[in-house]
Structure 1
Amino acid sequence: MQRSGHVLIGIIVLFMLALFSVSSVCLAESDEDETNLTNNTTNLSAEWVVDFTASPFEGYPPLCVQFTVSGPKGEYSWDFGDGATSNVMNPVHCYRQKGIYWVKLKYYYGTIAGEVSKPDCIKVLDPELFVDFSASPTNGSAPLTTQFSITGNPTNIIWHFGDGSDDVTEMNPRHQFVYPGNYSPTLTYCLAGSCDKISKFNYIEVEQGNDIDFIAERTNGTAPVCTRFVVTGEADDFKWDFGDGGESYEESPVHCYADSGAYTVSMTYTRDGAPYTITKNRYLVYTPKIIPEFSVTPLEGIAPLCVTYGITNPTQSWTFNFGDNSTGTGASATHCFGTSGTYFPSLTYCSNDFCDTIEYPSPVMVHQPRILVAAGSTPNEYSFSTDAPEGLKYSWVFGDGSGAEGAAVKHTYSSEGTYQVSLVVNGVCGCNAITVKEITVKPKKKLDFTATPLSGCAPHCVQFNEQSPEIPLSRLWEFGDGDTSEDKNPFHCYQFPGPYTVTLTDVFTNQTEEVVKENYITAHAVPKPSFTAYPPSGYAPLTVHFTDTTLDYTEKRYWNFGDTVTDTEKIVDHRFDEPGEYNVTFTVWGAGDCRGTKSQVIEVLKQEDISYDFSGLPVRGVAPLYTSYKLTGNMQQSELDFGDGQKTVERNPFHCYDTAGIYSPSLHACESDTGCEDIKKPAYVVAVSPNYLNMTLIPGWNLVSVPVTLEQGYDIMEILSGVNTAGHSVFTWNSTSGSWARVGRDYPLSPLSAFFMYVPEMVTVPLVISQEGPQQNLTRTLDTGWNLVSFADVMTVSADEAFRSVEEFWSYAIGYDAVKQRYLAPVTKGVDSVGSEMDPTKGYWLFMNASVQMIGKKL
């Protein structure tokens, strides 16, 4: 749990840094950079999700891997992790060295860009440690002679064939299985300081044989070799011709071959007086002690590529096979490749009538030279170059009847059209490389730009896209609100309403172009709905008079009274028939169809005959709080519980609340005719800690709130107008739009809200606590995702207690340490929320899993 908690904290902190452009460093910047607080994250559409696969992802070198992209066609840039790169969408890349490679793919599609990174994606094993064996044939009639071959370079070899024969220590033995059956050969070997074995179950399948035949125990090996010949079947007489001039008349002779070569063996036998001969051409193949090796360099390059082949340990004769159906001889040979491709070289050699072919472990990779095109400084002028090898002869044909010589040339087309540009590169070793590229010549475009969307509700974010005839030396965007950018396709947000003129200036080699679009972007103001409701509470049936007091909007409105009834009039009288709390929402629309919503809770009480009652004065203040109570009603007996553990039977008592807290007094009254009645008043007395009489701000950014409802006239941001903010604005978070909002002087100071404020030095602001308090519980709607909140209380409480009204819907709470100017560790609900301490004078980021209404105490 501890490890997962650490991982969760890391994920939340990274998410907070991405979601909110606010941190101790960002917030400490000058006022000029405060627009960085806006969340400008661009969402990636579902159809543009990029990933890639690799096949195979593990093997021995050369390991050629096919990379395949899943995603739309765009621009791609591969980094294969071994120093090689590619811009092909689905490339094939060959790894030649052992290792574990980290593959990265960068992609671009218009203004969308990203990267897919896969550590340990490709694993190239050490070729020196690869060992395996094969056999041919693996099945047939008895006696079955099988050639075993080893792949790799093991030592201390021991073969166990599984047929009861003696073990063999040769590298690639030839073995005869005399009797029918299934055999499981085993190879035991050592390599790089460790030993292992490879066993293949029932690998050899031998069927019953009927005809007479012979086999040699050792059909291959390194000369000199001695082998025994074994006859299967019965005959009367035998005569052997061993192919090297030797003969024998024994049934199972042993013969020694002094020299390497391929030997044809004949056995003549008689049965019932009739002679028969069995001849096996090139039956015995004995290799020389020294096998030739050859080198190939280079293994990769751009055509025309000159590749040199050399041989060591030469035999009687040899031929280089270059891999393109051409060959060469001699101690060394040079071959020219003029066409791209993958070529597999090999060497065929012969010694004493024995010939064999050796394949080189790595292919030759030849790439076609590319034609590189860049726009020139004048219209229809182009610069042509190539990545072909340097120091050669280069011949260009531009497709319009003209040409040029040289590695880098320029050409101007006289008319627009599509042209086939070809390049011939003459190699120094006998071949040419030819490459062709098609280009389209169009009239040079003028500088222009587009933007989307052109209008919206402030803050309004716009994606700009430059349409430039060529790559400029520099560019400057002027968005019309004082902000600028040098990006090619900037993303900019207009924080305030108004029309904006946008200017783009590009500086080219020979000129400067400017595009000005007057009143191009319009950011519409979001209306701030306002209304009155009187009375806000009362007994059912209750008629409430609603009046729209909103200024500067289109007169389009919508009332929702919370009881399924709606209206659109400016002034509405609505009757609530049933008791309950009704959340009345009022929505108004402004220019550009921008809308704002305001809510208020109407409390409708059940009509009851109250025989007795009590009241106190004052019921709100600073602890210690002295309250005088008065009981009303004709009661014979009474007992008043002050809510702090003390009680009294006095009719008009005087009581002192010594410590800060929220107290709920109750009256137990009895009368002979009607019996007894209990009257309770929840959260009736609020004794506030003296520490909460002031708002203390320390140097830097502070995330603060007020703990209780303030006196009317002292409950707006105006009380902080005299505080020095060093030119910084005061910010809060609009969870509905997902953006930061500057706070004005008339912004209400509510116990359920919080805001960021910067001060250069410590300052204390006195708070005036309301003597009456709100008539009903405080409410606020929280949106799905992150919300900037606080809570109403007179002391520090746990996170579970602070956010009890939304306990089923919140996941994480994050506070801010103003002393260290950084965020505190997240509090996770159900993990560390019980023992946490939350301060009602501070603000908190609260992550909500749903949009719900937060209810605070009547403080």
Structure 2
Amino acid sequence: MKAKLASYQKQFLGTIALIIILLTNTNAQLVANFSANATTGCAPVLVKFQDASAGNPTSWKWDLGNGTISYQQNPSVTYFTPGTYTIKLIVENSNEQDSVIKTSFITIFGSPTVHFSADKTNGCYPLHVNFTDLTNTNGDSITSWLWDFNDGNISSSQNPSHTFSQQGEFDIKLSVTTINGCMSVVEKSKFITTDSSLLGGFNYTILSTNCSAPTSVQFNNTSTGSGVLNYQWSFGDGATSNDKNPLHNYTSAGSYTVTLVVSNNMGCTDTIVKNNIVNIGTVQANFTIPDSICVGVKLDLFNTSTPATISCNWSFGNGITSTQTNPSITYNTVGIYTIKLVNNFGACFDSLENTIKVVAKPTANFSTINTLSCSLPLDVQFTNNSMGGDTYQWNFGNGNTSTLQNPTHSFTSFGIYNVSLLVTATNGCSDKIQIDSLIKLIPVKITNIGFTPTEGCVPLTVNMQPTLNTSDSSIQYEWNFGDSTFSTEKNPTHIYTKAGVYTVQLKIINANGCFDSLIINNAVRVGDKPNANFSATPREGCTTTGIQFTDSSTNALIDKWKWSFGDGKGSTMQNPLTTFQDTGWFNVRLIVWSNGCSDTMVKANYIHILPPMANFVFDANNCNEKLKVVFTDSSKGAESYKWYFGDGDSSTLANPVHIYAKGGTYQVILIVYNGECSHSKIRTVTVDDKRGELILSDTVICRN
């Protein structure tokens, strides 16, 4: 026993020694791996690599894909050129070597090279500039542009247009972003320069004291602006000058337009044109007027002087003056007036006087009585109260006229008419008066009576409101409510205290004696409260059983019924006979009316309809078995079945499949049974046994 134990101890110690030797001589496996702080970016990109190898390497060799070799454990490198880079790492220790290659591990996107131009870079403000983007995308598409014009305005257009409205020097900045998010910016200092605008101007002095040629004119330049100013004069007679303040001699009679163009060294210009400012030669003031005019009538004056006047002054002989070229004047007093025109043609003047006679005009006026009526015809006598008239023209507003001094006119149609009178004197002066809505021929009429409500139970309160064709406040009302009671209110409220059907009458009359009446037959229906009740025979049956309902309501003369049987059907008969469209228990409701007064009776679970209720669906025209029809029962409460397929065949299955001998339309009947009750359903089934047919011809079709 001791010897065997010693043997076991020896074997155990040997095993332990072997395990210790194996553990001592076995190192972890070397596996190359790495990571980077960035794998994509816009050039230039600084990438820091991190050794992540297992197995305790002691040396490293990196190929960073851009020609750079590194022996550091964690190298860094900057990528300047867009593209994709494959990274290789070799690691070693004293026992082994391993490597890893990561293809296209680094992706560098190219940043755009921003550049732009403009169609102009200097000029007078407002300066409109068109900018053009000239950016080199370096292979990537651009997704956004941002322009800063340095005047408080920006733009996101690729090629914007911008107007600089201030004087100054403007730095222009353009930021461009690619689809990969790479952005570049360029700023051009003082790229746009604007100068202040010019403002041209001048005045002149005619040096001679007469209006005949030759005549000298001194021009005085009042232009303003920055920079070196240049001047180009055109005197209207073919002569020009570049002097600032030229003296020009006109040698021929005429009317001359003078033009001055001012420019500066920035390219700014302004042009001033003064039409017909210099007038040399014979001048003549002129205007024409009639011999006479009616008092109170506006006189329009037209200055027809030659040449066209520079300025003028009118006096009208009544203390009123004007400096308008073509003024107007109204004389309000009879008399003879002298009108004088003085024209200024530069240094030359001319005047003209004409006289005009202002004559009296008549005063139109008339009166009448009996201008309101509600009946036809209406004869109206008109009295002419005009002064100074010789002839008269009446217009009665209905298409009829008269030239009598005091006419009588008969109005034969209802309406509202404007009447006018035109009075003319022997001197041609006239006056007109018109009185709007003078004649009013309006019938008094009741167009409707509103009742709220029109029916109900005793006692019933009814509000009555008439509708008239007039708002005449003098109208009086006479109501007869049909129950021997009356009212003179406009909108009365009446209480009916007895059952019945009432006819209501309204009469109206106004201060002129115009009247109308309206009778509304059966206007209000008032009933005693009924007591609704009913019975049915039988109260239980099949879906085919006719149920007879009998009205047994009391307490009133009932004139209207409304039944609801609980299965979606109803009736307005007094004693209806019906069958039910479903099985189960049904609530029945009856509403009865007596002259609009109603009562309701509802009996819950009053009718019981026993099953079955037949119904089915079918699936026909299967493409592979066109004569086969699958029937599916959807009946309620069926215990047995009888199918008739319309071709002489039948079945007692619940869900039969039937194959027809030929196509056609068939009336399929399903009868279902449950105890003593049965019910049937008929549906039309169409079986189509036609098949598609492809017919080919030998027709030749040419390509294209």
Superposition TM-score, scaled by structure 2 size: 0.30
Greater radius of gyration (CA): 2
The structure showing larger relative contact order (alpha-carbon pairs under 8 Å, at least 6 residues apart) is 1
